[in-house]
């Protein structure tokens, strides 16, 4: 069993990103990332602070537009429109979840596809499906980088993705299909989850349910990618996989924390730099 070390890979990617930003600055280009943060959700504030710190360490200009819970949808859309037209901003990120009175789809669709570093705009979603170069959601993109780092070729593998969200599960499915894996995607209404997971060569789980995947649900020698993040009653951070009992059966497995999590922010930096290069026609 080998651990897929996302923390180490993310550090390597961030070092490369800092070098790329330095080279762009020598050409008079400073990549810029803007974040829209609405309300007082503690998890959202933590994530945004982590993103700010990563930008600062990499040399990317970043700004956070903090708004109260009761902000109007119109004001949010005005802010996004302003950032779409701001030449100093290459990437726009709307921190989810949004308050209930806000139409999340309408807000995400307002972001320019060329600055959509989260990969949530329908244009980028469609291009991902068609296997056209585009902005890909950061978490599934991070998973692919992690597989590549360890020379894991998914072509021909039977893959099972547990979780069908627009942010993780669906784009994960398309990334694997584009690499010619055979993909089975499961969700909350799937009957007999074990029947799907137990035959997978590659099992990717991201639903946010502690110990959802147990030892008997995993094939001997499987590659297991755990995207879930859960806090136990004792305050411990764990994934969706019963790591202690599942790990001995695996050829490769990601830990939680230290697996996919660090890769998500690394991919955000990479997407922002990609946007800056594209907007300034720099290779």
**In a shared domain, residues 55 and 169:** no
What pLDDT does 180 receive? 98
What pLDDT does 141 receive? 98
- Condensed to tens digits (0 to 9), the pLDDT of residues 202-255 reads 999 999 999 999 999 999 999 999 999 998 888 899 999 999 999 999 999 999
Decide if 139 contacts 263 (C-beta within 8 A).
yes
Whole-model pTM? 0.95
Q: What is the CATH number of the domain that holds 69?
A: 3.40.50.10860
Q: What is the CATH number of the domain that holds 188?
A: 3.40.50.720
Final residue of a domain: which of 77, 112, 147?
112
Decide if 59 contacts 18 (C-beta within 8 A).
yes
**In a shared domain, residues 78 and 143:** no
Number of domains in the chain: 2
From the CB of residue 283, how many other CB atoms can be counted at a distance below 10 Å?
4
**In a shared domain, residues 148 and 41:** no
**In a shared domain, residues 236 and 165:** yes
What pLDDT does 176 receive? 98
Q: 51, 170, 219, 274: which one is catalytic? A: 51
**In a shared domain, residues 71 and 106:** yes
User: Considering only CA atoms, which of 219, 118, 209 is closest in space to residue 171?
Assistant: 118
**In a shared domain, residues 198 and 87:** no
**In a shared domain, residues 252 and 177:** yes
**Judging by beta carbons within 10 Å of its beta carbon (0-12, 13-18, 19+), is residue 39 exposed, middle or buried?**
middle
User: Considering only CA atoms, which of 208, 207, 281, 220 is closest in space to residue 253?
Assistant: 220
What pLDDT does 43 receive? 86
Q: 90, 116, 118, 226: which one is catalytic? A: 118
- The answer to whether residue 121 is domain-embedded is no
Tracing tokens 């709307």 back to the chain, one arrives at: 94
Low-confidence ranges of the chain (pLDDT < 50): none
Q: What are phi and psi of 238, to 5 degrees?
A: -135, 170
What pLDDT does 212 receive? 96
Q: Which domain holds residue 221?
A: 138-261
**In a shared domain, residues 179 and 225:** yes
- The answer to whether residue 107 is domain-embedded is yes
**In a shared domain, residues 95 and 153:** no
Decide if 268 contacts 15 (C-beta within 8 A).
no
- The answer to whether residue 3 is domain-embedded is no
- 97 secondary structure, DSSP code: P
Decide if 106 contacts 120 (C-beta within 8 A).
no
**Judging by beta carbons within 10 Å of its beta carbon (0-12, 13-18, 19+), is residue 84 exposed, middle or buried?**
middle
- The answer to whether residue 20 is domain-embedded is no
- Sorted by sequence, the CB contacts under 8 Å of residue 208 that are 6+ apart come out as 228, 229, 230, 240
Cis amide leading into 59 (omega within 30) = no
Note if 95 is an active site residue.
yes
Q: 90, 95, 170, 240: which one is catalytic? A: 95
- The answer to whether residue 185 is domain-embedded is yes
What pLDDT does 145 receive? 98
- The answer to whether residue 16 is domain-embedded is no
How is residue 56 written in tokens? 């600062």
What pLDDT does 260 receive? 97
What pLDDT does 283 receive? 83
Note if 118 is an active site residue.
yes
**In a shared domain, residues 219 and 105:** no
- The answer to whether residue 281 is domain-embedded is no
**In a shared domain, residues 146 and 214:** yes
User: Considering only CA atoms, which of 238, 241, 212, 209 is closest in space to residue 225?
Assistant: 241
- The answer to whether residue 162 is domain-embedded is yes
**In a shared domain, residues 158 and 97:** no
């Amino acid at each position: 069993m080998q651990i897929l070390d996302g923390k180490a890979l993310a550090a390597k990617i961030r070092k490369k990103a800092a070098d790329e930003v330095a080279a762009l600055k020598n050409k008079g280009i400073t990549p810029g990332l803007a974040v829209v943060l609405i309300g007082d959700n503690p998890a959202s504030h933590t994530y945004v602070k982590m993103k700010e710190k990563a930008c600062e360490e990499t040399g990317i200009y970043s700004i956070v537009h903090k708004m109260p819970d009761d902000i109007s949808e119109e004001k949010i859309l005005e802010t996004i429109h302003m950032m779409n037209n701001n030449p100093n901003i290459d990437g726009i990120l709307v921190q989810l979840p949004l308050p209930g009175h806000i139409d999340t789809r309408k807000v995400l669709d307002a972001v320019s596809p060329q600055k959509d570093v989260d990969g949530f705009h329908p244009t980028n979603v469609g291009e991902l499906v068609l296997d056209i170069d585009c902005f890909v959601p950061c978490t599934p993109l991070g998973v692919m980088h992690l597989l590549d780092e360890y020379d894991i070729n998914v072509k021909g593998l039977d893959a099972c993705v547990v979780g069908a969200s627009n942010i993780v599960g669906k784009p994960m499915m398309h990334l694997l299909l584009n690499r010619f894996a055979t993909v089975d995607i499961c969700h909350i209404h799937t009957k007999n989850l074990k029947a799907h997971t137990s035959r997978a060569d590659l099992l990717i789980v991201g639903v946010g349910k502690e110990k959802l995947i147990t030892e008997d649900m995993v094939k001997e020698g499987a590659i297991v990618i755990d995207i879930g993040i859960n806090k136990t009653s004792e305050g411990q951070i764990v994934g969706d996989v019963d790591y202690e009992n599942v790990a001995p059966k695996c050829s490769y497995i990601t830990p939680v924390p230290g697996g996919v999590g660090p890769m998500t922010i690394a991919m955000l930096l990479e997407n922002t730099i990609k946007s800056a290069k594209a907007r300034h026609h720099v290779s």
